[in-house]
A = this chain, B = another copy of it.
Amino acid sequence: MKREMVERPYKEVVDVLKRCGLRPTRQRMALAKLLRDAGDCHLTAEELHARAADAGHRISLATIYNALHQFTEAGLVREIVVDSGCSYFDTNVSDHHHFFFEDRRELKDIDHGDVVISAVPEPPEGATVERVDVVIRVRSS
């Protein structure tokens, strides 16, 4: 019973990982749980690494990168490129756009529906639209 209270929260992430065809290893379970419990946010690999460390998990950066890419592939997180120099991983995988605070280098979600794109051009022949990213770059002033 003591054991169960601690272990239960893992059940879900284990299932998610299995559904994605990823072995539920110690590291992937820890990371998947951290990401799920983090709520909607935008993390760099380094930040996730730090959070894992804070939670008592000693996971190599290589593994963090591996997991983030696998999770991206599986649709558990979404990679956002706004800053030449580092990638952000978004735990909110629903369709939404972003403010980017250039001075703080931070992303903030824009509620779906607050940006309306009323005309999107056809992609060129043989190309298929993967995603439409809208980033509103702002500076404090």
Contacts and interface: CB of A to CB of B under 8 A. Distances in A.
A116 B119 contact: yes
B127 A140 contact: yes
B138 A127 contact: yes
Interface in A86-141: 86-87, 99, 101-102, 108, 110-111, 114-121, 123-124, 126-141
B126 A140 contact: yes
A22 interface: no
Most buried by B among A86, A101, A118, A121: A121
A82 interface: yes
Interface SS of chain A: helix, strand, loop or mixed?
A: strand
Contacts of A38: none
A83 interface: yes
Given A81-B81, A83-B81, A87-B84, A136 B118 contact: no
Contact of A128 (B129, B133, B139): B139
A60 B18 CA distance: 51
Interface of A: 79, 81-87, 99, 101-102, 108, 110-111, 114-121, 123-124, 126-141
10 contacts: A79-B84, A84-B84, A84-B85, A84-B86, A101-B127, A114-B121, A115-B117, A115-B121, A116-B118, A128-B140
